[in-house]
Amino acid sequence: MYKKIQFIILSIIGAMSLHAQTLESPNGDFKAVFSINPKGTPTYQLDYKGKTIVKPSKLGLDLHNDTDLIENFSIIDTQNSSFDETWKPVWGEESSIRNHYNEMAVTLQQAETNRKMIIRFRMFNDGLGFRYEFPEQQDLTYFVLTEERTEFAMTGDHKTFWIAGDYDTQEYDYTTSKLSEIRGLMDKAITPNSSQTPFSPTGVQTALLMKTDEGVFINLHEAALVDYSCMHLNLDDKNLVFESHLTPDAKGVKGYLQTPCATPWRTIIASDKAGDILLSRMTLNLNEPCKIEDTSWIKPVKYIGVWWEMITEKSSWAYTNLPSVQLENIDYSKTKPNGIHGATNENVRKHIDFAAKHGFDQVLVEGWNIGWEDWFGKSKDYVFDFVTPYPDFDIKALNEYAHSKGVKLMMHHETSSSVRNYERHLSDAYKLMNKYGYNSVKSGYVGDMIPRGEHHYGQWLNNHYLYAIEKAAEHKIMVNAHEAVRPTGLCRTYPNLIGNESARGTEYQAFGGSKANHTTILPFTRLIGGPMDYTPGIFEMDIKKLNPDNHSHVNATIANQLALYVTMYSPLQMAADLPEHYEQFMDAFQFIKDVAIDWDETRVLEAEPGEFITYARKAKNSDEWFVGNTNGYNARQSEIKFDFLEKGKKYEATIYSDTKATHYKTNPQAYEIKTITVTSKSKLKQFCAPGGGYAIQIK
């Protein structure tokens, strides 16, 4: 009997090997094995440096009222190829990016339906991307998804940096735990938000970072999310297998597809060096090249704004205190102002003057347009018109004043998630921007969606976000979308997508505070897909000094806030605090004025997620370098080398750092500034306080 069982097992293994296809990375570090299991289900396995990091995992999709694309497949063709190019981003962390991969496209045919499905694998030196493709064919034209069944089978109970899976928000603090501990920690991880729909006690969001006991870092995400629902990951915590979980629409459907079509790429980035995860450009490389022919109008932006005073509730977005307004019936010139409106002519001019004096490009103004009195939580369709200013905001005069000072105003479009209303007004809103010389807009999607029942990350909304970006490009407008789906590298294809929020940003420091190590995790997770408008630069950490009723505390030091301009990459960087707070610390503010926002070269000098990150970046078309370190909860001594500098040259390094007495909670405003001479042979040992860090300008 034993020999018979052994023969059957060997026969099955032999049959499986007949279908096995392998693909290696150009440098040989990664190997993927694709095969069809005895049920005809496609599977893949991923090895890194000779060890398995993703065990055999199933692939397929469930269809609505149709035969699922799961089983009874056979391989009818395999095509292998290689690709190697270097492309130049419009803006970025480097002036050029190498796109080098080996590819394997496996064409499958399902026995009972005769349907064809291609699974395309691209193997880079930093990991694997794969997607499903459906060629035009007689037996499959229109089809509806009820779920995607892509698996990621983990090899152990890895240390994981995660936020709760949710169809409507990513604005959670990160939890660090073993995979097996996610279920027990989920309730605590789900904190209040303006719109949220958690879906599972073990559901988490991408980009997800893990660290194995052997010290291998693994990042799971997706690339090129177009005409498809956002992917979450649902964990089978008994077997430690993640399965994709797509965001549903109002009917519970996960996607509507028509051949020829393809899904987004599923990505696995891995390395035994944490810094390699941060330096991976695989997500960008899996997106299509730039579709905008003339990109000369797309420029990185450093800005200030009439914003933090509203976030802290020192000022108001609304002009009046009316409990209810109907835009078509109200004459604001006859209403009583509330006296705390932020977007006034006087206040905006003050910000324009400050921006001009200190070399900032733009001034964001929120609350400039009518409708803010009852904008939130009312499921209101016609909430804003995006073109009519309040009586105390002279849109023509303020733009002329800004332009006379060499400054632009930044537009703000809060939709209150009434997306149907926004699309009705979008053309007129962009035309108004062109008329007055605005070239960038911060859009927002706060609250539950209209159409009601839709979610922020479903296929319908993802199509809207891209529609807004494409229409903005026609008007030569750059877009910074808040509360939209998290980025998946689409900024390569549409570089006017200059920023996103799509994570827990600085505003939460005024909503009770964020974890002091939050920004040592975000670059490994959220920023894998694209830059974040994190809005750093807060110098006054005690929020009750702005608003006596707000007892929040910013869990960071001043040196930490300076470092964020280097560690939290974005071509769109805000100095988020009030001008009067910067005027109290002008020597520290000098770094924000000087730091670049576009780069020729990027290095990671040291990194450990949740603990610390140190970047060095070379400014675009310059010999200047900037270094930034953000530190977690534990005080430590950072040790870095300056071997990235040109040999044989002397440089002046100005270091903005914590002091020995600095602490993010008890003494956050203590810092010191010193200038030293460095060369490529120099080394630095620098103290980092809890919640602190340091920033260096090298020239």
pLDDT band at 3 (very low <50, low <70, confident <90, very high): very low
Instruction: In whole angstroms, give the CA distance from residue 11 to residue 7.
Output: 6
Lowest mean pLDDT among 5-19, 95-109, 499-513: 5-19
Asked if omega into 20 is within 30° of 0 (cis), the reply is no
Which position has the token pair 């974040």?
532
507 is catalytic: yes
User: 474-497: string of b/e by CB count within 10 Å (b at 16+)?
Assistant: ebbbbbbbbbbbbbbbbbbbbbbb
pLDDT of 70 strictly over 90: yes
Element (H, E) at 589: helix 586-594
Question: Which residues is 653 bridged to in the sheet?
Answer: 676, 698
pLDDT in tens, 310-348: 999 999 999 999 999 999 999 999 999 999 999 999 999
Q: 14 CB contacts (<8 Å, ≥6 apart)?
A: none
Question: Is the bond preceding 391 in cis, omega lying within 30 degrees of 0?
Answer: no
pLDDT value of residue 468:
98
Query: What are residue 593's phi and psi, to 5 degrees?
Result: -65, -40
Grade residue 640 by pLDDT with cuts at 50, 70 and 90.
very high
Phi, psi values for residue 199, rounded to 5°? -125, -10
Q: Helix, strand or coil for residue 283? A: helix
Angstrom distances, CA of residue 333 to CA of 130, 320, 342, 382, 423: 58, 11, 17, 20, 28
Q: What is the pLDDT of residues 579-598, one digit of tens each?
A: 999 999 999 999 999 999 99
pLDDT in tens, 176-189: 999 999 999 999 99
Confidence of residue 19 (pLDDT cuts 50, 70, 90): low
Residue pair 532/500 in contact (Cβ under 8 Å)? The answer is yes
Residue 11's pLDDT is 41
The answer to whether residues 686 and 694 touch, using CB atoms and an 8 Å cutoff, is yes
Q: What token pair was written down for 98?
A: 């190498």
Q: What is the pTM of this model?
A: 0.96
The answer to whether residue 294 scores a pLDDT higher than 80 is: yes
Whether the Cβ atoms of residue 12 and residue 25 lie closer than 8 Å to each other: no
| Residue tagged active-site, from 243, 483, 507, 540 | 507
